[in-house]
């Protein structure tokens, strides 16, 4: 995988070299539910190449299309385990772009987080560019209110990226897993979404027929809603979700 970063001066070049060293440090991050980053190197004039293992089952969306009858609670638990690992490192690593497209599935059917930390990398490299809003610097359908409007929370684009903002996005991934839809799928114009989020709008329950088809129970929906709370201090941690997901998986096994 390669990514292109803007390089406009010698200072930017130095920042990229620093980020290469930082990202290479993340090769020490090892967990069954995180895609291993095996190395990073400069690629061409303005790029970084990230070396990761190939996941033949693709991302979570592709996997669920191919395996529509699979139990989904274990996937929720897998992602929560990966987030808990990142969030409890010292210092914590914030993923920054949690969405189904950034969750890959390995040959054993385990969900694994990919691309962790890249959002912060982009923000740090582009720190001198004040032309872009926070909403432009991320995937707004999955972004917590404090990330879309950091100034209103006395935060910056970088400091608004916290484990709690990851958990908000995680709630949106639960929605994706059980509905097959992206958050706010009805709103094709992404520029209307920040206003919707600010007003308290969140994804609606998909209805009984979809819930029965995918196994979305009331308890799992409550987890998603808890992650979407506007007050970041009231959202559950990944570790709290893990315990509930284990129970829900046990229930789904018994009912299956």
Q: How far is CA 146 from CA 31, 150, 160, in A?
A: 29, 5, 6
Q: Which of 9, 10, 97, 231 is catalytic?
A: 97
Name the residue among 220, 219, 194, 153 with its Cα closest to residue 162: 153
Name the residue among 165, 201, 198 with its Cα closest to residue 183: 201
Taking 3-state DSSP, the helix, strand and coil percentages for the chain, each rounded to the nearest 5, stand at 50, 10, 40
Active site residue 97: yes
DSSP 237: P
Burial of 200 (0-12, 13-18, 19+ CB in 10 A): exposed
Q: Which amino acids are annotated catalytic? A: 97
């Amino acid at each position: 995988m390669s990514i292109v970063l803007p390089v406009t001066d010698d200072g930017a070049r130095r920042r990229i070299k620093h980020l290469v060293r930082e990202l290479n440090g993340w090769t020490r991050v090892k967990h069954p539910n995180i895609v291993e980053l095996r190395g990073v190197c400069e690629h061409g004039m303005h790029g970084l190449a990230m070396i990761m293992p190939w996941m033949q089952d693709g991302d979570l969306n592709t996997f669920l299309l191919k395996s529509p009858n699979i139990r989904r609670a274990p996937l929720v638990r897998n992602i929560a385990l990966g987030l808990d690992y990142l969030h409890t490192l010292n210092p914590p690593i914030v993923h920054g772009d949690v969405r189904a497209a950034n969750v890959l599935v390995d040959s054993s059917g385990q969900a694994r987080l990919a691309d962790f930390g890249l959002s912060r990398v982009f923000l740090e490299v582009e720190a001198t560019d004040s032309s872009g809003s926070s909403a432009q610097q991320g995937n707004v359908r999955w972004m917590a209110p404090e990330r879309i409007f950091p100034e209103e929370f006395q935060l910056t684009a970088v400091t608004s990226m916290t484990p709690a903002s990851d958990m908000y996005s995680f709630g949106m991934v639960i929605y994706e897993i059980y509905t097959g839809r992206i958050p706010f799928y009805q709103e094709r114009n992404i520029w209307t979404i920040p206003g919707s989020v600010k007003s308290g709008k969140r994804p609606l329950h998909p209805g009984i027929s979809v819930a029965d088809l995918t196994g979305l129970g009331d308890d799992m929906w409550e987890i998603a809603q808890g992650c979407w709370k506007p007050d970041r201090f009231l959202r559950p941690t990944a570790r709290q979700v893990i315990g509930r997901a284990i129970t829900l998986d046990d229930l789904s096994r018994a009912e299956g």
